[in-house]
């Protein structure tokens, strides 16, 4: 059922919108649909004048990439005081994982499985961005990403729609606050609509082709969750979906978004995407591109210069009804009024310069600590597990290109982040070791992307002199992750794998710390390195957070939001695979098939089907034990599942069986059998963060109802069906073994 956004549906607000719309000329209406990037106009002189002139004439409704209050107020003053109708501009910016205070990249934040914390980071980002006049962020990116080759995996919450939906709601509530009209709130923009994360071959800007069942079951839920949470803007995606470019797709932009979900805000294109409809091949000229986009439900043209130059003629020629323009303008004005821009259009350009205060650093450090995932932690040569670092370790060799790289810790899309604010691992580690009389031997060893082995000798020498090696390897954050950063090879870039092998060959215990914006192929490392930490790109408090985790001051609690492959050829790789008539079962092995019983199964002959590190995986310095799963009922009727009220409870007892306190992410998975459609072999339908003292036990309960039990049938309807059997798994990862079953009856 469609959900009404009360802030946009307000009668008084809409009366103001309609009153203003009635005063507008066609050119002024079209101006509200035009967004340009701040700075010097880049189009031909015949197409664009000076921005100040266009704003004064009411020909521009929005600017993006205005990053400071002084510039924002300069343009805003022209719009509010010089244009005929005094309509304020709305400024948009890519505030993705922090504005000036940079938090872990979104994939890292998702690894926390902590929506409440993510909401706090978004609220802080909103407060900082709004101080500069930015009242609109192009975030959250909620694309489900199941192919690690795609560079934008780093910008989202990973492979799972349930986790993705939880993170989508957290970002929206954080950015928009309790009221959009709060001067510290910014409008969220859900992107990229729709299914951008499923681009063919993981290649940026590529096509998407999928069934409507897959679209609605997997890829649409996070978008809908964000809309239901109150998001007031949406960005269309660059890709085509089933042959129709998203920028001009009435099925997604009108039928689903408006008619089915009741969205009342506005849709903006991605950068230059309206003009790119020509390259997509569905328009021979920019006029046709504009006509198709506006008719499909695309309200604002970001930097395409199509609406500005072509819409008026299209209306006058009868190819676009003026009523279509009016409706797009209403949507945009609705958001501007809701944000309070008419009452408070200006930023405080006298505000003091940014300071990374202790409060800001505390949240950044918490976010980083919760994002770190302990992938592996084994004994080395008969000694105890390498982590946490023992007091007997007096000399540590810190090696690799990420140990003292401030800029790398910010990752891609780092907003207005300043590398000078970053505390590196080297800085934090040296302070820690100095306090206990130990020392750190630092050697970069190699660069991120090079074949030169000039630094190998120094790194190996430092390793040989140490009690423990911390080896920092991974991808270049700004250039190898994010937009336009698809990779055909998922191993460590350059000669980093060679450095890894050379350091391991010294025989010293090695902790590998991986910095990446996607799952990497770590098969060799998993076989030869005792401990592995996935650090993503942790933000300004990278060093203190990593040091706290490595020494056990903080017990790691992060869990993987994406599956890590044994080999690139497994991609796309994800947990919620559909079953097959010939499941691999015990033959899910890396050796070649030895007989017909092992050969004629759905399996690879050279690597396992399963991931190296599965979704939901993440180790702790303690051990959590799970009691058998109990259910409040063994049968649930279809009538009990009307509406969204819980119909069944699934419970377990979780015990901390170790000697230190820890936080466990308790995860619930479902499998549905006996339905009219194949359903995934296992899918996430609940999670809770639970903190336990040593020896402590907590009873954990999950409520399940129609949202968790339903699926999309062949008619693209969300249903439950009698006669189906549900298996509930609860544990600390997607490999949970404790389970119980119930059935749906008439």
Sequence-ordered alpha helix ranges (H) in 538-680 = 542-550, 596-599
> Phi, psi at residue 727, to the nearest 5°?
-105, 130
CB neighbours (10 Å) of residue 553? 12
Between CA 557 and CA 727 the distance in angstroms is 26
Here the tokens at position 79 are: 């719009």
Between CA 378 and CA 532 the distance in angstroms is 9
| Greatest CA separation for the chain | 82
Burial of 639 (C-beta count, 10 Å sphere; 0-12/13-18/19+): exposed
Between CA 727 and CA 673 the distance in angstroms is 8
Between CA 334 and CA 264 the distance in angstroms is 8
Element (H, E) at 53: helix 51-56
Which residue among 99, 114, 270, 301 is the active-site one? 270
Between CA 446 and CA 399 the distance in angstroms is 9
Assess whether 270 carries a catalytic annotation: yes
The CA-based angle 351-355-359, given to 5 degrees, is 110
The CA-based angle 633-637-643, given to 5 degrees, is 105
Quote the strand ranges of 273-420, DSSP E.
301-302, 373-377, 395-399
Between CA 377 and CA 391 the distance in angstroms is 17
Between CA 702 and CA 688 the distance in angstroms is 9
Q: Judge contact between 682 and 671, C-beta under 8 A.
A: yes
Between CA 577 and CA 129 the distance in angstroms is 40
Element (H, E) at 703: strand 697-704
Residues tagged active-site: 270
């Amino acid at each position: 059922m469609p959900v009404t956004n009360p802030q946009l549906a307000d009668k008084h607000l809409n009366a103001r919108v309609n009153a203003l719309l009635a005063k507008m000329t066609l050119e002024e209406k079209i101006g509200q649909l035009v967004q340009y990037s701040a700075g010097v106009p880049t189009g031909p002189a015949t197409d664009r004048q000076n921005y100040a002139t266009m704003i004064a004439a009411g020909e521009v409704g929005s600017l993006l990439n205005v990053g400071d209050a002084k510039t924002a107020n300069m343009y805003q003053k022209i719009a509010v005081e010089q244009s005929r109708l005094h309509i304020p501009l709305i400024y948009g910016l890519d505030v993705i994982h922090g504005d000036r205070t940079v938090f872990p990249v979104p994939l890292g934040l998702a690894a926390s499985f902590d929506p409440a914390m993510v909401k706090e980071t978004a609220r802080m980002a909103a407060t900082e961005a709004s101080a500069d006049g930015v009242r609109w962020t192009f975030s959250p990116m909620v694309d489900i990403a199941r192919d690690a080759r795609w560079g934008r995996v780093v910008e989202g919450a990973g492979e799972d729609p349930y986790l993705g939906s939880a993170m989508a709601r957290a970002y929206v509530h954080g950015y928009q606050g309790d009221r959009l009209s709060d001067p510290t709130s910014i409008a969220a923009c859900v992107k990229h609509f729709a299914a951008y994360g499923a681009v063919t071959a993981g290649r940026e800007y590529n096509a998407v082709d999928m069934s409507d069942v897959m679209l609605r079951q997997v890829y649409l839920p996070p978008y809908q969750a964000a809309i239901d949470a109150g998001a007031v803007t949406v960005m269309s995606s660059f890709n085509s979906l089933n042959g129709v470019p998203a920028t001009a797709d009435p099925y997604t932009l009108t039928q689903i978004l408006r008619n089915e979900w009741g969205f009342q805000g506005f849709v903006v294109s991605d950068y230059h995407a309206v003009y790119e409809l020509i390259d997509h091949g569905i328009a021979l000229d920019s006029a046709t591109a504009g006509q198709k986009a506006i008719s499909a439900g695309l309200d604002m043209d970001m930097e395409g210069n199509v609406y500005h130059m072509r819409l008026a003629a299209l209306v006058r020629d009868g190819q676009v009804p003026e009523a279509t323009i009016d409706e797009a303008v209403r949507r945009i004005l609705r958001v501007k009024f809701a944000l309070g821009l008419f009452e408070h259009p200006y930023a405080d350009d006298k505000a003091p310069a940014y300071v990374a205060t202790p409060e800001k650093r505390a949240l950044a450090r918490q976010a980083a600590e919760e994002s770190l995932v302990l992938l592996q932690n084994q004994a080395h040569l008969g000694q105890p597990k390498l982590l946490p670092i023992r007091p007997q370790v007096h000399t540590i060799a810190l090696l690799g290109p990420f140990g003292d790289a401030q800029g790398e810790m910010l990752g891609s899309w780092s907003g207005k982040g300043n590398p000078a604010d970053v505390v590196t691992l080297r800085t934090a580690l040296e302070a820690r070791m100095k306090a206990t009389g130990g020392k750190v031997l630092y050697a970069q060893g190699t660069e991120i992307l090079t074949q030169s082995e000039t630094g190998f000798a120094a790194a190996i020498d430092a390793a040989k002199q140490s009690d423990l090696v911390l080896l920092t390897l991974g991808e270049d954050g700004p250039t190898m992750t994010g937009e336009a950063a698809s990779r055909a090879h998922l191993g460590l870039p350059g000669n980093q794998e060679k450095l890894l092998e050379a350091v391991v060959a010294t025989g010293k215990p090695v902790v590998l710390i991986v910095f990446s914006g996607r799952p990497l192929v770590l098969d060799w490392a998993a076989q030869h390195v005792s401990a592995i930490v996935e650090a993503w790109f942790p933000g300004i408090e990278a060093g203190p957070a990593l040091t706290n985790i490595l020494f056990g001051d903080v017990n790691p609690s992060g869990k993987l939001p994406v599956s890590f492959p044994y080999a690139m050829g497994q991609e796309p790789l994800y947990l919620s695979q559909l079953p097959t008539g010939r499941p691999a079962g015990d033959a899910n092995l890396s050796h070649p098939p030895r007989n017909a019983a092992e050969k004629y199964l759905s399996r690879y002959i050279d690597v396992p089907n399963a991931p190296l590190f599965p979704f939901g995986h993440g180790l702790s310095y303690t051990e959590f034990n799970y009691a058998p799963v109990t259910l409040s009922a063994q049968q649930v009727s279809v009538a009990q599942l009307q509406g969204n009220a819980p119909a069944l409870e699934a419970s377990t007892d979780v015990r901390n069986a170790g000697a230190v306190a820890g936080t466990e992410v308790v995860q619930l998975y479902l499998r549905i059998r006996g339905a009219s459609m194949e359903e995934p072999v296992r899918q996430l339908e609940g999670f809770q963060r639970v903190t336990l003292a040593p020896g402590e036990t907590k009873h954990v309960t999950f409520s399940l109802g129609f949202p968790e039990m339903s699926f999309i049938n062949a008619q693209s309807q969300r249903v439950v069906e009698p006669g189906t059997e549900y298996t509930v798994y609860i544990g600390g990862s997607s490999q949970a073994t404790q389970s119980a079953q119930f059935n749906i009856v008439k």
